[in-house]
Amino acid sequence: MKRDYLKDAKRVYKILKEGGIAIVYMRNAYAIMSGTDSALQKVYTAKKRSLNRPSGLVANARTHEKLHILSRRKKNIIKKFSKKYNLPISIIAPYRKKHPIISKFSNFSKMLATKNNTVNLLLNSGPLRENIADLSLKDNFPLIASSANLSQRGTKYRVVDIEDRVKKCADIIINYGPCELYKEGKTIDCDGLSLSSTQIDFRDMSIVRKGVYFKEIYNIFKDEFNINLVLRL
């Protein structure tokens, strides 16, 4: 299947700006995105997701560089990790509250895109999300994303596996087939649910969530950057 990432990103972005909802392919999972309060509420309702559980901001390395407040050492670690290994990783860190894209949040969307003065940005998730993130950053139009599945029911690596009530709320679905990092029988957690991205809180270098390639990520940080990631209890 020939993929036109930029063309598909523009199609998705147009629908999101008009108040629609999109389900899109990523390397590590299918994601569901929205850009308005009404669309975001529909996503949470369709997923049966608690409003106490925030989502992530659609981002790439440029978004991360502009928004996250971290030491230059930590940003260099993230940059080197991404360039050398290109494994999906969610970075949780404080953010620049006066950045134009943050100022566009409503109270409702800010509540669901931030937590304890941090924002969660998924990096290295593939060219489609990268292009969507570029369009979002260029317009300072924030987009909120989470995995395309019923809440707490496991990430989905194929569109066919996404629950019908979740798919039905989408105005567009970009289906590129099985996700690149999906390994049948090997991307499953101890509870039998499929894994999403590994989340790291860079304030204290703690693991918020184990995800795909967690062992590899853990060992890279330990061996190459001399950082022992601590599992948050």
Integer Rg of the chain from CA: 16
Please tell me the predicted confidence (pLDDT) of residue 148: 97
The helix/strand/coil state of 2 is coil
- Please tell me the distance from the alpha carbon of residue 186 to that of residue 123, in angstroms, as a whole number: 22
Q: How far apart are the first and last CA of the chain?
A: 43
Beta bridge partners of 32: 23, 146
Diameter over CA atoms, the chain = 46
Considering the entire predicted model, what is its pTM? 0.93
The helix/strand/coil state of 194 is strand
> What percent of the chain clears pLDDT 70, i.e. is strictly above it?
94
pLDDT at residue 192 tops 50: no
- Please tell me the distance from the alpha carbon of residue 218 to that of residue 184, in angstroms, as a whole number: 22
Phi, psi (5° rounding) for residue 194? -70, 150
Q: What is the pLDDT of residues 87-140, one digit of tens each?
A: 999 999 999 999 999 999 999 999 999 999 999 999 999 999 999 999 999 999
Mean pLDDT value across residues 181-194: 59
Question: Where in the chain are the domains?
Answer: 5-231
Name the amino acid, one letter, at 167. K
Class of domain 5-231: alpha beta
Cβ 125 vs Cβ 28: under 8 Å: yes
Half-sphere exposure of 73 (CA within 13 A, CB side): 6
Please tell me the predicted confidence (pLDDT) of residue 196: 83
Q: At what angle do helices 72-85 and 214-225 cross, to 10 degrees?
A: 130
- Please tell me the distance from the alpha carbon of residue 62 to that of residue 50, in angstroms, as a whole number: 30
Q: What is the pLDDT of residues 202-220, one digit of tens each?
A: 999 999 999 888 999 999 9
Mean pLDDT value across residues 66-72: 98
Cβ 148 vs Cβ 12: under 8 Å: no
Residues 142-154: b if buried by 16+ CB within 10 A, e if exposed: bbbbbbbbbeeeb
- Please tell me the distance from the alpha carbon of residue 199 to that of residue 156, in angstroms, as a whole number: 17
Mean pLDDT value across residues 156-182: 95
Mean pLDDT value across residues 171-191: 77
Cβ 145 vs Cβ 60: under 8 Å: no
The mean predicted confidence, pLDDT, of the chain is: 93
CA-nearest of 192, 210, 183, 189 to 89 is 210
Please tell me the predicted confidence (pLDDT) of residue 188: 55
Q: What is the pLDDT of residues 129-142, one digit of tens each?
A: 999 999 999 999 99
